[in-house]
Amino acid sequence: MSKVTNILLAGVGGQGILLASEVLAEVLMLAGHDVKKNEIHGMSQRGGSVTSHVRYGEQVFSPIIPDGEVDILFGFELLETCRYMPLLRGDGRIIANDLRIMPPAVATGKQDYPAGLEQVLTSAAEAVIIPGLELAQQAGNVRTVNTVLLGALSNMMDIDAELWRKALEKMVPPRFIEENLAAFALGRDWRN
Amino acid sequence: MSKEILSGNEAIARGAFESGVKLAVAYPGTPSTEIVENASRYREIDSSWAPNEKVALEVAIGACLGGARSLVAMKHVGVNVAADPLFTMSYTGVRAGLVLAVADDPELHSSQNEQDSRHYARAAKMPMFDIADSQEALEFTRLAYTLSEQFDTPVFVRTTTRIAHSKSIVEPGQPCSDAPQPSLKRDAAKFVMLPSNARRRHDVVEKNLQRLAQWACSQPFNRVEDNDGDVGVITAGVAYQYAREVLPEAAVLKLGLVYPLPVELVRDFARRYKTIYVIEELEPFIEEQVRALGIEVVGKDKLPICGELTPGRVKAALCDEQFTPAHNCAIDLPNRPPNMCPGCPHRGVFYTLKKLKAFVTGDIGCYTLGFMPPLSAMDSCICMGASVGNASGLNRVLPEQEKQQVVGVIGDSTFLHTGINGLMDMVYTNATATLVILDNHITAMTGRQENPGSGFDIHGQPSRKVDLEQLCRSVGVKHVRNVNPWDLAEVYRVIKEEMERPEPSVVITRGPCILIKRDVGQRKTPLQVSADKCSGCRACLNIGCPAIEWHPEAGERGQAVVSQLLCVGCGICEQLCKFDAFELVSKGGNNE
C-alpha cells in the first residue's frame, strides 16, 4: 500500500476550518490524488474545539487519520494546535496561526490562557508559526486568514501553484478572489 | 461526467436525483440533515421539511401510493418517531421505490443515544444497505430504488457520522430515464392494512426476505476480497475502511447489504479462512447472525460496543497494539466545550431560570447547551418533545410546595415536532407546570432549517406560518404570554408570574436566532466596557457569553473586555451591570 499523507486541521468552531479543508481537498483531487476528508458537524461547532481530517494518496481507506500518523498539524489557533500534538507523527510538521481565542474557562477568569505555547510547538517539531491576521490585513480583508494559512501550508506540499489558483477560483466567490489570491501569496512567501 | 468531491449526504441526494426521485422529505437531524437539503437543490425533486419524522415518512408513503419514487431521511433517533408507519409499510410494499436514508451517530457527536439502526431493518423486515464511502452512497441509493421495486419493499440506506460528513471522490452518473410515472391507482388488498389484508402481506414479506437473502449472495454489492493469509474479516460500512487500514493482509467479505444476511456467501467465506473477525461499529448485529450459523468468530469479545470505531481502536483490540504518542504537550490545556453564540436569544432565558431556581425539563436543540456552566439551568433532557410531558408528570407527583418550580423548556421547531401533544396532555390533566417555548423562528442546531413556524419553505420562499400563540390557546392553555428574550427584567417578571400561577401556562420568548441571515438587522453595534466604570465584580461573566473576556491583569481586581469581533450588541450584559460599565462603541474608536 502506497503512502497516504495526513493533514489535521484544528481550531475553534466559527473560524472557517471547514471551508479551508474544502479548498485543500479540491486541490488534492485536481492534483490527481485519492482524497478523503472528515469532520464533525452539529453541537461541537458552537464555539467548541473543531478538527478536520484530510488524507490523500493513491488509495485512502479510513476517513479518520490513525493516531500518531498526522504528517502536518495545521492549526488555526495556538491552544487547539497544541491539543492535537499527540496525534502527530514523530517526524511530523506543524503550521500554526499565531492567534489566541479564549476558551470559556479562561474568558470567565477560572483558568489562564497557557503561556509559552509557541515554544511547546517549535521545540517539538519543525514548526512554522505565522501571523495570519496581520497578513490577511495586508491582503486587504481580515477574513482571508484561512487563505493566508493555506498559502503557508502549500510550501509543505508538492502541488503546482497553478492548481492552488484553480481550487481557490472554484471555491471562493468571484468578488473575493483577488484578495484571496493575494492572501495566499503572502502566506506562501512568508518566512519565520 | 467529471469527478466531484461529495459528502455521503450529498452523494445520497445525487443518487436520489439520478434515480428519478420525485419527492424528498425529512425532519433535520445531525448527521442526516444535508441529504434533503441537497435534494432540494435539484429542481426535479419536490423537497420539503416535515414537522417530524413520522410525518416525513407518511408523506413519502403518499408519494409511493401515487407511484412516484420518494426519499425520506432522518437520524437514528428519528426512526423511533417514524417507527409506527415504518413497521406497517414494510407489509404494504411499494408502487414505486421508497428509500429511507438513516444516519447513525456512533460516539454521540450530536445525539442523545447511540442506538444502532440496523436493528430496525430486522425488526421492520426491511432490507438495509450500509454505506462505506460517498461513491457507495450514490451507487447504493440507486440500487436501493431498483431493489425496492424488484422486491416490493421499502429499503433502508444507512450511514454513520463518519460517512455522512466525510467527503470523498465520486463519479456521478446519468439520471435514469425509466423511473415510474405517478398516477392514481387503487390497490386496497396491498395498501389497506386491515387484519385480513395484513395477514396475507406478512406472509409475502417473509417469503420476499428469503428470496432476497438468496439473491444477495450473488450480487456485487456483497463482495469478497480474497487474500493468502489465515484471517478473514466480515465487515460493512465505515468499519470496512478501518479493517482495510489496520489489517491490509486479511481477506475481507464486505457486506453492502447488511440485512438480510447473504447466508451462503458468509458460510462459503468462513470455510476458507481459519480465523474470522467480524468488525462492525456499535452492536454485534452481523456477529450474532454469523454465530447463529455455527461459525466461530472474534468480534465484540474484543471490539468495543460503546463509541465509534477508529483505526486506533481496531488496532488496539485486534492487534494488541496500544498507541503511544511521539509528542506530548506538557502544559495543561483548558477545554473548549461548545457554547451558545454571542447574542443568542436563549442565554438570558436560562440565566433567569437559574435565578428563579426552576427545575427545568429540557429538550433537544441548541438550547440544550443551557445545561453547560455557567448557565447550568437544565435538569433533564430525554428526546424530542419530552420536556412537556416530563414537566406534566413531574408537576403532578410533587408536593404542593415544589410543584410550581417545574418549567419545561422547548424550541419552536421541537415544539411543533412532538411537543404539542405533550401540551394537550398538560392542559387535559391540569398539570400546573409552565412551558417556555424558545421561539427563534428556525431549526437552529442542525444548521438553520426552516420549519412550519418559521414562515419560509425549504427554498427560503415565504410560506404559511403556524401561529404558536394561537396554537397553544386552541389546545386550551388560558395563559399564553409573549416576551422579548433580550429584556431580562421582562423575562424574569413574566416567567415568575407564570411559574407561580397554579394552572398550565405557556411563555413564548420571541427572538430570531442570531445567525439567521434574513434577520441580519438584529446584529447591532458592539458594546464595550468602560475601564473607568468596570469594578471587576464579574456579574457579567455569569451569562457565559463568548464575547466577554476576563482580563485578570486589568484594573484593581481584573476587568471584563468585550471582543469587538464577536459582540453583536444584544445588551444582556449591559442589563446585568450595576455600574453601567457597558456602553456603545463610539464611532472611530474601540477598546481593543
Total domains in chain A come to: 1
Please give the CATH number for the structural domain made up of B4-216. 3.40.50.970
Report chain A's C-alpha Rg in angstroms.
Answer: 16
- Which class would CATH give B524-584? alpha beta
Domain spans of chain B? 4-216, 223-319, 347-519, 524-584
Report which of B27, B25, B52, B41 is spatially closest to residue B449, judged by C-alpha positions: B27
Residue range(s) defining the domain that contains residue A105: 5-189
Q: Which residues of B touch A107 (CB under 8 A)?
A: 541, 546, 548-550
B109 to each of A7, A42, A45, A48, B106, how far by Cα in Å? 21, 8, 10, 12, 7
Separation of alpha carbons B504 and B101, rounded Å: 39
**How much of chain B, in percent, has pLDDT values that exceed 70?**
98
CB–CB contact A83 B550 (8 Å): no
Q: How far apart are the first and last CA of chain B?
A: 51
Average pLDDT of the residues in B294-305: 98
Confidence label for A72 from pLDDT (cuts 50, 70 and 90): very high
The residue among B327, B446, B548 with the most chain A CBs within 10 A of its CB, best to mutate, is: B327
Element housing B200 (H / E): helix B195-216
0.95 exceeded by pTM:
yes
Q: Residue B51 gets which letter from DSSP?
A: S
Contact B570, B349 (CB under 8 A): no
Any idea what DSSP says for residue A25?
Answer: H
**Strands A49-57, A34-39: parallel, antiparallel or unpaired by DSSP?**
antiparallel
Phi, psi (degrees; rounded to nearest 5) at B453: -100, -5
- Per-residue pLDDT band for B592 (boundaries 50, 70, 90) equals very low
Cβ neighbours of residue B372 under 8 Å, at least 6 residues apart?
Answer: B337, B338, B339, B544
Q: How many CB atoms lie within 10 A of CB A187?
A: 27
Give the whole-angstrom CA distance, residue B278 versus residue B450: 42
Q: What percent of chain A has pLDDT over 70?
A: 96
- DSSP characters for B104-133? E-TT-SS-S----THHHHHHHT--EEE--S
In whole angstroms, what is the distance from residue A89 CA to residue A85 CA?
Answer: 9
Return d(Cα A38, Cα A63) in angstroms, integer: 6
* B chain contacts of residue A49, beta-carbon cutoff 8 Å: 335-336
Helix (H, G, I), strand (E, B) or coil at B510: strand
User: Cβ distance B134 to A38 under 8 Å?
Assistant: no
| E-strand stretches of B307-444 | 359-361, 406-411, 434-439
- Predicted local confidence at residue A40, as pLDDT: 82
Cβ B83 vs Cβ B39: under 8 Å: no
Tell me if domain B4-216 and domain B524-584 are identical in fold: no
pLDDT of B523 higher than 80: no
Looking at beta carbons, which pairs linking A83-86 to residues 24 or more positions away fall under 8 Å?
A83/A10, A83/A49, A83/B329, A83/B333, A84/A8, A84/A10, A84/A51, A85/A120, A85/A121, A85/A124, A85/B325, A85/B327, A85/B328, A85/B329, A86/B325, A86/B327, A86/B328, A86/B329
* Helices and strands, number each (H, E), in chain B: 21, 22
Cβ contact B546–A60 (<8 Å): no
Cα B552 from chain centroid (whole Å): 40
List, for residues B165-208, the tens digit of each pLDDT value.
Answer: 999 999 999 999 999 999 999 999 999 999 999 999 999 999 99
Is 60 exceeded by the pLDDT of residue B448? Answer: yes
Share of chain B above pLDDT 90, in %: 95
Nearest CA-CA partner of B130 in B318, B260, B20, B15: B260
| Predicted-complex ipTM score | 0.96
CA distances from B294 to A148, B267, B270, B280, B297 (A): 59, 9, 10, 19, 9
Kindly calculate the radius of gyration of chain B based on its CA atoms and give it in whole angstroms: 27
Q: Over the stretch B38-48, which tens digit does the pLDDT of each residue have? A: 999 999 999 99
Contact A125 B327 (CB under 8 A): yes
The domain that holds A98 is classified in CATH as 3.40.920.10
pLDDT in tens, B375-388: 999 999 999 999 99
Q: Establish if A112 touches chain B: CB-CB under 8 angstroms.
A: yes
Q: Do A67 and B333 touch (CB under 8 A)?
A: no
Q: What is the CATH number of domain B223-319?
A: 3.40.50.920
Mean pLDDT calculated for residue range A50-59: 96
Cβ A107–B548 below 8 Å, yes or no?
Answer: yes
Residue for grid cell 444584544: B570
Span B347-519: which CATH code? 3.40.50.970
pLDDT value of position A13: 87
Size of interface A-B (CB pairs under 8 A): 179
